[in-house]
Amino acid sequence: MQTILVIDDDDNLRDTIGLMLEKEGFRPILVADGKTGLQEALGSSPSLILVDLRMPGLSGVEVCKRVRAAGVRTPLIVLSAVGDEVDKVLLLEIGADDYVVKPFGTRELLARIRALLRRATPEANETLSFSDVEVDIERRIVRRKGDEVKMTRAEFNLLAFFLQNPDRALTRDVILNSVWGYESFPNTRTVDAHVVRLRQKLEPDSNVPRHFVTLHGVGYRFIA
Amino acid sequence: MQTILVIDDDDNLRDTIGLMLEKEGFRPILVADGKTGLQEALGSSPSLILVDLRMPGLSGVEVCKRVRAAGVRTPLIVLSAVGDEVDKVLLLEIGADDYVVKPFGTRELLARIRALLRRATPEANETLSFSDVEVDIERRIVRRKGDEVKMTRAEFNLLAFFLQNPDRALTRDVILNSVWGYESFPNTRTVDAHVVRLRQKLEPDSNVPRHFVTLHGVGYRFIA
DNA sequence: TGAGTTGTAAACAATTCGTGAAATTTGGCG
DNA sequence: CGCCAAATTTCACGAATTGTTTACAACTCA
């Protein structure tokens, strides 16, 4: 679950935002002043930070600056009151990602939060790789030297399983159970056939397999 | 000229606000009950909505809820009488952007209206695009080579979901859950049918899909 | 009520999968 | 070292799965 740090001295607003976040499936950390907020920002590594511009003590600007100075790139949204002179350029310069003017609709705030989180997420893309091949598990995309290689469903599933179990000695039965599932009972030759296809598509020299290795009398092993 | 929808059962107040708005260069649409107001809100796409909290029939809260439920983000100000139990949290939760307590000075109301309009205008430009297609998510408008393409509700929702999840391998189940919601259980073929419609309307060559790509045995992928 | 929208069924098209059989390789053993 | 049985690789094909398209009836909203 994604954690969102809310730093605002207005008790009422803070609670409102907290409730809204909970309702939407986030875990809020509510904090009333800049100093504590800064500690949480650095300590709890939230997924996103909401910080009020105007606060006694450490202001939002100051919190933002220090968070960035510490090398933390967590997405950060500044909340500003309607009367505040909001200088967009300044906010961008100190490293804020967005700002919202009070009073705001929860819907709007949520949209901004989601937009930022979405923008931030792609780094979390789990791509596994070996030699000149890159595999993005979630997107189901395989690239070789940057070019996309088309994979059928069974091929991709098998490939993913190998990547997630490198170096292990995998019998055909284990592979069948894990990749094909308990309910289908294809011939164990099926595994061989698909291994062949993986080699043809992904091995530097499919006659001398270096990654999808045969264990004679046992099964296969994937080596990165 | 900017249109402002006023929903209030108090004839006197409604006319007063109407006059004031006209004098200030807005075009008021005056409506006496929630039901008619809701129709206007969804049909006339005003720039801003003023709605009375207490009304016989559809209350202001109800109107606001339904407007938001329909995906319309028009700025909305709730007018409440001095005795009303105004629950800030509730108002924020249902998607109101601001509220004003009666009796109020026209000057104050105008300031709130202007503030909201100022805030709403620049963000209205969030458009996503691919090839010769531009999609304004908030306004639910799709243009192709500058010409508007009519989209039905389901079509647009699906399109928006694709645009917001580019490159991901999306199974029909994920699509159904995200676009149709947990509560309706249409056939997964439904997704196919709508993808067909999107391709016909938006693909350069609907026989060779380049953007709404089939992942055989998996689902679909949107590529910008 | 009527136009527009939506979900579904059914017929058809495309892709994928598993299989068997032949060719090849492997590794133990005499 | 060479032979042989067992194991693996390869390949092409038909069955089966999966996707597309169209038409249509139910539904919705004005």
Per mean pLDDT, which range of A76-85, A205-214, B135-144 is the poorest?
Answer: A76-85
**B15 pLDDT higher than 70:** yes
Q: What is the pLDDT of residues A195-204, one digit of tens each?
A: 999 999 998 8
Q: What is the pLDDT of residues B171-217, one digit of tens each?
A: 888 788 778 864 556 787 899 999 999 999 998 887 889 999 999 99
Q: What is the pLDDT of residues A162-184, one digit of tens each?
A: 998 889 899 888 888 888 875 55
Question: Residues with Cβ < 8 Å from A60, sequence gap 6 or more?
Answer: A7, A34, A51, A52, A53, A54, A78, A79, A80
CA distance B82 to chain A (A): 20
B150 burial type by CB count under 10 A (0-12 exposed, 13-18 middle, 19+ buried): exposed
**B21 pLDDT higher than 90:** no
Most confident range, picked from A32-41, A65-74, A195-204, B42-51: A195-204
How far is it, in rounded angstroms, from Cα A159 to Cα A24?
36
Per mean pLDDT, which range of B52-56, B104-108, B183-187, B205-209 is the poorest?
Answer: B183-187
Per-residue confidence (pLDDT) for residue B123, from 0 to 100: 45
Structure tokens of A143? 């690239």
% of chain A at pLDDT higher than 70? 86
Q: Which residue in the set A12, A82, A139 is minimally distant from B169, CB to CB?
A: A139
Best mutation site among A24, A140, A151, A180 for testing chain B: the one with the most B CBs within 10 Å?
A140
Q: Which protein residue has its CA closest to C1' of D11?
A: A193
DSSP H helices, B83-206, are 88-94, 106-123, 153-164, 172-175, 189-202
Per-residue confidence (pLDDT) for residue A51, from 0 to 100: 92
Quickly state the pLDDT bin for B124 (edges 50, 70, 90): very low
This prediction has a pTM of 0.56
C1' of C24 to CA of A216 (Å): 14
- Say yes or no for a CB contact (<8 Å) between A12 and B92: no
CA distance B168 to chain A (A): 5
As a whole number, mean pLDDT of residues A120-145 equals 81
C1' of C28 to CA of A196 (Å): 26
Per mean pLDDT, which range of A39-48, A138-147, A160-169 is the poorest?
Answer: A39-48
Span between the terminal Cα atoms of chain B, in Å: 35
Q: What is the nearest nucleotide to B197, using C1' and CA?
A: D21
Sheet containing B212-215: which strands, arranged edge to edge? Answer: B170-171, B219-222, B212-215
How far is it, in rounded angstroms, from Cα A207 to Cα A210?
9
Under 8 Å between Cβ of A138 and B169: yes
C1' of C4 to CA of B187 (Å): 21
Average pLDDT over chain A, rounded to an integer: 83
- A-chain residues near B168 (CB < 8 A): 138-139
Q: How far is CA A146 from each of CA A133, A134, B91, B213, rounded to the nearest angstrom?
A: 8, 8, 51, 20
